[in-house]
């Protein structure tokens, strides 16, 4: 059975709305939820970017069943890994064991704000690997002192440690990140339905571990309106991670996507109200071997109708198709 998740997209809704949306997603019957962790939206049209960890604390209290997960947090620039360990442990306690910590090597869009520069992808992966080791050591309890190539930790300890630490997921886009995920993670995260990524994850020790994908969708009873909204807010998505991780500002994404057409977007994102189009979009993830797929409904003001439709139509269609 493939689990179907709901995405709290911080780039397109304010903090109170995000909490209300995940409560409704729990009521609608989604199997899990994830939240993006951004400082900037991708495009100005999205219009939001509250602090994901405050939203998670509120969501943990407002919900009772639905699992929570960062998708994803970069633990190497804006945040020191020792602080990521502390807040992840806290959310695990608040949620009574429903939290998973999704980590990645980051995007310039969000991490440039602290003025540390944006190094090569090799260095970013070195930093991620070191950060995961620090976080795991702190989850284990006791004092941690470490002087590494990128991070120093001086006699740190988590004083509120959950009995079961949050499982750690690592986002992948190529062989290097798959190696880190296979060696150090409890699950793998990807935003493209590429079987090769999962095969590389397995080669490096990931066999049998969960694999979580993500898919943007745009429900609307007016398909033309859905296509227009998807183009306005999500045309950046098809640029690929090698581009998306490097651009520093929403205006950069505006320039990089100026020639993307609504037809281009509609060709890659299911739009409208035909559940079979959404099922067809999920199928490549299932065929590639993903065990979980989180949906992103495009448009902060269109979450409630999407959640109502999901409960009545979309989730039954997806479960009929995939388990």
Hey, which residues are catalytic here?
Answer: 38, 107
CB distance 89 to 158 below 8 Å: yes
CA angle, 188 as apex, 1 and 104 as ends, to 5°?
140
The residue assigned the tokens 């059975």 is: 1
Q: Half-sphere exposure of residue 131, counting CA atoms within 13 Å on the CB side? A: 30
Other CB atoms within a 10 A radius of the CB of residue 160 amount to 9
d(CA 54, CA 58): 6
Tokens linked to 30: 């989604």
Q: What are phi and psi of 19, to 5 degrees?
A: -65, -45
Question: Which of 320, 233, 218, 224 has the alpha carbon at shortest distance from 279?
Answer: 320
Strand partners, 153: 146
d(CA 319, CA 30): 11
Question: Which of 269, 313, 292 has the alpha carbon at shortest distance from 6?
Answer: 292
The dihedral built from the CA positions of residue 58, 66, 99 and 240, taken in this order, carries a sign that is negative
The residue assigned the tokens 């540390």 is: 116
């Amino acid at each position: 059975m493939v689990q179907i998740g709901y995405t709290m997209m911080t780039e397109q809704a304010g903090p109170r709305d995000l909490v209300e949306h995940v409560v409704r997603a729990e009521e609608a019957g989604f199997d899990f939820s994830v939240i993006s962790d951004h400082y900037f939206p991708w495009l100005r049209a999205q219009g939001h970017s509250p602090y994901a960890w405050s939203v998670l604390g509120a969501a943990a209290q407002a919900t009772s069943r639905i699992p929570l997960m960062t998708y994803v947090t970069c633990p190497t620039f804006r945040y020191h890994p020792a602080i990521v360990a502390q807040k992840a442990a806290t959310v695990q306690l608040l949620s009574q064991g429903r939290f998973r910590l999704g980590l990645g090597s980051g995007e310039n869009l969000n991490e440039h704000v602290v003025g540390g520069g944006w190094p090569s992808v090799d260095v970013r992966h070195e930093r991620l690997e070191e950060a995961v080791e620090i976080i795991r050591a702190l989850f284990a309890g006791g004092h941690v002192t470490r002087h590494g190539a990128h991070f120093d930790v001086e006699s740190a300890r988590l004083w509120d440690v959950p009995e079961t630490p949050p499982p750690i997921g690592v986002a992948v886009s190529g062989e290097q990140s798959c190696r880190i995920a296979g060696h150090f993670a409890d699950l793998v995260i990807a935003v493209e339905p590429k079987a090769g990524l999962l095969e590389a994850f397995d080669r490096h020790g990931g066999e049998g571990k969960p694999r979580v994908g993500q898919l943007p969708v745009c429900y609307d009873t007016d398909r033309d309106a859905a296509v227009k909204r998807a183009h306005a807010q999500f045309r950046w998505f098809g640029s690929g991670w090698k581009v998306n991780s490097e651009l520093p500002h929403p205006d950069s994404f505006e320039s990089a996507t100026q020639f993307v057409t609504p037809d281009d977007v509609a060709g890659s994102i299911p739009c409208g109200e035909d559940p079979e189009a959404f099922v067809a979009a999920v199928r490549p993830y299932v065929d590639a071997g993903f065990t979980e797929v989180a949906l992103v409904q495009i448009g902060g003001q269109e979450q409630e109708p999407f959640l109502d439709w999901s409960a009545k139509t979309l989730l039954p269609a997806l479960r009929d198709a995939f388990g």
